[in-house]
C-alpha cells in the first residue's frame, strides 16, 4: 500500500495539470467569496455580512464551494485518462499490480483532493467567522458545521462519478463533454420526462442537493409578503440524512463499476 501511495503521489503532484486546476479552484473560490463580501445588500433582518458570520458561514461556504466541484471532477478525469494516454496503468500491471490496486490508487487521490477542499472551506470559514463576528471570544460557533462534512461527501461523490466516466471512455475530451452533458441537461431530461416520480433519487440530483441554498437567505426570501422564491422551490428533495446516505451508496456503486471496468480492460 505504501508503494502504491508513493506512485500515486509522484504521478499526481508532479502533474502540471494538477497544479493548474487546484490553483484555479483555490483562486476562483477565494475571489468569489471576496466579491460577495463586498456586496451591500440588506433585506429585513438579512444582510450579506451575516453570511460570513458564525454559524451561517458553515452553510454558506460549502454552497459556494460546490460551484467549483466541476473543476475537481475534471481534474480526476484528466488524471485518469492520462493513465491510458501515457500507458502508466499498463506499466503498473506489468510491475505486478492488479485492477484493485489501480482502483485503490484513484480512491486515494480522490480522498486527498476532497480533504483539500474540506480544509479550504473549513479554514476560510473559520477565518471569516472570526473576522466578522461581533463577539471575539476566540471560540468558534460550530453549530451547523455538519454542512462542511456533507460537502466532503458531495465532493467525493462528484469525483467518483467522474472517475467512472473517465474509465469508461478513456479519452479526456470525450469524458469531460459527456460528464458535463450528463449533469446537465442529460439527467434532468431523463428524470423529468421519463421518471418524474423518482427524480429525487437520481445521482446528480442527490449529490447536488447535498449543499442547498443557504437557509438564512431562503427564509428571508420566503417570508410572508415577499413573493420572491429562491432555491430548490417545490422540487422534491430528500432529507439531508437520506441524501447523504444515498450519496455514499452511489460512491460505492461508481467505484465498484470502475473496478469492474478495469478488470475487463486489457492494458
Q: How many whole angstroms separate alpha carbon 205 and alpha carbon 8? A: 31
What the block records as the C-alpha cell of 42 is 440588506
Which parts of the chain fold into alpha helices (H)? 2-13, 16-37, 57-66, 69-85, 88-94, 99-132, 146-169, 172-181, 187-189, 203-208, 215-221, 240-264
Q: What is the pLDDT of residues 244-256, one digit of tens each?
A: 999 999 999 999 9
Contact 168, 261 (CB under 8 A): yes
Number of structural domains found in the chain = 1
Please check the confidence at residue 238 and state whether its pLDDT lies above 60.
Answer: yes
Q: From its phi and psi, is residue 87 left (phi > 0), alpha (psi between -120 and 50) or beta?
A: left
- Where is average pLDDT lowest: 117-121, 212-216, 221-225? 221-225
Instruction: Find the domain containing 126 and state its range.
Output: 2-264
What is the residue-averaged pLDDT of the chain? Answer: 89
Contact 159, 114 (CB under 8 A): yes
Strand partners, 46: 43
Q: How many whole angstroms separate alpha carbon 206 and alpha carbon 201? A: 6
Q: What is the pLDDT of residues 30-89, one digit of tens each?
A: 999 999 999 887 776 668 888 999 999 999 999 999 999 999 999 999 999 999 999 999
Q: How many whole angstroms separate alpha carbon 212 and alpha carbon 195? A: 22
Please check the confidence at residue 232 and state whether its pLDDT lies above 50.
Answer: no
At 84, phi and psi to the nearest 5?
Answer: -75, -40
Is 0.85 topped by the overall pTM? yes
Q: What is the pLDDT of residue 135?
A: 57
Q: How many whole angstroms separate alpha carbon 239 and alpha carbon 243? A: 6
Contacts of 236 (CB under 8 A, 6+ apart): 199, 200
- Where is average pLDDT lowest: 105-109, 233-237, 261-265? 233-237
Q: What is the pLDDT of residues 121-176, one digit of tens each?
A: 999 999 999 888 755 556 788 899 999 999 999 999 999 999 999 999 999 999 99
Amino acid at each position: 500500500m505504501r508503494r502504491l501511495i508513493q506512485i500515486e503521489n509522484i504521478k499526481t503532484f508532479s502533474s502540471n495539470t494538477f497544479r493548474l486546476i487546484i490553483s484555479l479552484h483555490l483562486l476562483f473560490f477565494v475571489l468569489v467569496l471576496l466579491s460577495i463580501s463586498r456586496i451591500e445588500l440588506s433585506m429585513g433582518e438579512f444582510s450579506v455580512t451575516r453570511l460570513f458570520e458564525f454559524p451561517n458561514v458553515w452553510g454558506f461556504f460549502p454552497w459556494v464551494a460546490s460551484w467549483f466541484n466541476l473543476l475537481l471532477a475534471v481534474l480526476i478525469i484528466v488524471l485518469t485518462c492520462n493513465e491510458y494516454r501515457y500507458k502508466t496503468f499498463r506499466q503498473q500491471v506489468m510491475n505486478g499490480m492488479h485492477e484493485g490496486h489501480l482502483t485503490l490508487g484513484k480512491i486515494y487521490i480522490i480522498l486527498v483532493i476532497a480533504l483539500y477542499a474540506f480544509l479550504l472551506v473549513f479554514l476560510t470559514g473559520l477565518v471569516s467567522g472570526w473576522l466578522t463576528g461581533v463577539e471575539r471570544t476566540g471560540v468558534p460557533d460550530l453549530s451547523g458545521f455538519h454542512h462542511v462534512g456533507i460537502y466532503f461527501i458531495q465532493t467525493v461523490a462528484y469525483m467518483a462519478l467522474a472517475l467512472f466516466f473517465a474509465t469508461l471512455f478513456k479519452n479526456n475530451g470525450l469524458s469531460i463533454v459527456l460528464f458535463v452533458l450528463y449533469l446537465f441537461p442529460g439527467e434532468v431530461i431523463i428524470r423529468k420526462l421519463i421518471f418524474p416520480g423518482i427524480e429525487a433519487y437520481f445521482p446528480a440530483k442527490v449529490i447536488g442537493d447535498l449543499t442547498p441554498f443557504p437557509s438564512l437567505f431562503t427564509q428571508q426570501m420566503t417570508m410572508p409578503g415577499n413573493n420572491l422564491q429562491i432555491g430548490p422551490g417545490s422540487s422534491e428533495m430528500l432529507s439531508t440524512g437520506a441524501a447523504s446516505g444515498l450519496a455514499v451508496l452511489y460512491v460505492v456503486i461508481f467505484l465498484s463499476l470502475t473496478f469492474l471496468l478495469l478488470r475487463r480492460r486489457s492494458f
